[in-house]
Amino acid sequence: MDGKETIKIGVLVSGGGSNLQAIIDAVNVGALDVEIACVGADNPGAGGLARAEKAGIPTFVTDYSALFASRKDGAPLPGDFSLEEVAAKQSLLKDADPETLKAFFEKRALAEADLLARLAPYKIDLLVLAGFMRVFTPYFIDGLNAGSTLPRIMNIHPALLPAFPGTDGYGDTFRYGCKVGGCTVHFVDYGEDSGPIIGQHSFAILPEDDLDAVKKKGLAEEWRLFPECIQLYAEGRLNVVEREGTRVVNVLPGE
């Protein structure tokens, strides 16, 4: 995409990183006005890290398990973290007792402060979650979104939201007996898989399809959908507006 302005994105992965690969490939063929500034993972074994290294993209690991354990051992909380503020905004834990809530948000604050610090030098416009299997608290989301009216975190989910949020979208879709499956790209808000929807692709689930077939069809759609949505962001065509009490994404027409 010669002569066009590019945005800088960071990508976070937890696993194999086939979505990351789709984004790298789309950049390489000039289909995205994007520079992938860095790729991070929540665990050192994430296969996506090797894909990034192969593509010459800087990588880092925020080791969530190690940081969670360090909190148990008394590691201090980030100076700008307020449990009261985070607890008042969040909608991840409902009906949790105060001790559970405190432990949940405090250990995440440690990991999220590390993530924010590692991302900061890259000055990214957009953070893309490509199979990143951690929820974010308002501490991280507000930190990343600071100074921007448009949300800055985009996630891909393996189901047609708002159906089947959670970690096993294709499994839940298949076991429910749905005749159509799909994937969703959305902005991240304070809930789990609840943010404004940017784009969705669907596919037919046929009587002969097993769960593996459903996952295969779904991933193939993800690899198309994610670059499309990132490009809409890069072109400045996404707008979040209020519609009947809900925040929704308006996609502005292209040139």
Interface positions with ligand GRF (CB under 6 A): 13, 15-19, 130-131, 156-158, 219, 222
CB of 167 to ligand GRF, least distance (A): 8
CB of 166 or CB of 236, closer to ligand GRF: 166
The CA radius of gyration of the chain, in Å to the nearest whole number, is 18
Active-site residue, 201 included: no
Query: Within 55-210, where are the H helices?
Result: 64-72, 83-89, 98-119, 138-145, 169-176
CB of 51 or CB of 152, closer to ligand GRF: 51
CB of 121 or CB of 191, closer to ligand GRF: 191
Report DSSP state, residue 76: P
Q: Is residue 43 annotated as involved in ligand binding?
A: no
- CA–CA distance, 192 with 125 (Å, rounded to integer): 22
Report DSSP state, residue 146: T
Q: Is residue 102 annotated as involved in ligand binding?
A: no
CB of 80 to ligand GRF, least distance (A): 29
Number of Cβ within 10 Å of residue 148's Cβ equals: 10
Residue nearest to ligand GRF as judged by C-beta position: 131
Q: Strands (DSSP E) along the chain, which ranges?
A: 7-13, 34-41, 59-61, 126-129, 153-157, 180-187, 197-204, 238-243, 246-251
CB of 72 to ligand GRF, least distance (A): 27
Query: CB burial class (10 A; 0-12, 13-18, 19+) of residue 210?
Result: exposed
Q: How are the residues of the chain apportioned to helix, strand and coil, as percentages rounded to the nearest 5?
A: 40, 20, 40
Q: Is residue 239 annotated as involved in ligand binding?
A: no
Catalytic position from the list 157, 186, 201, 215: 157
CB of 216 to ligand GRF, least distance (A): 11
CB of 151 or CB of 218, closer to ligand GRF: 218
CB of 69 to ligand GRF, least distance (A): 24
- CA–CA distance, 70 with 147 (Å, rounded to integer): 31
Closest Cα to residue 239, out of 231, 251, 255, 225? 251
- CA–CA distance, 106 with 69 (Å, rounded to integer): 12
CB of 15 or CB of 138, closer to ligand GRF: 15
Q: Is residue 8 annotated as involved in ligand binding?
A: no
Q: Is residue 19 annotated as involved in ligand binding?
A: yes
Closest Cα to residue 24, out of 4, 45, 3, 53? 53
**Residues recognised as catalytic:** 157
**Annotated binding-site ranges for (6R)-10-formyltetrahydrofolate:** 89, 155
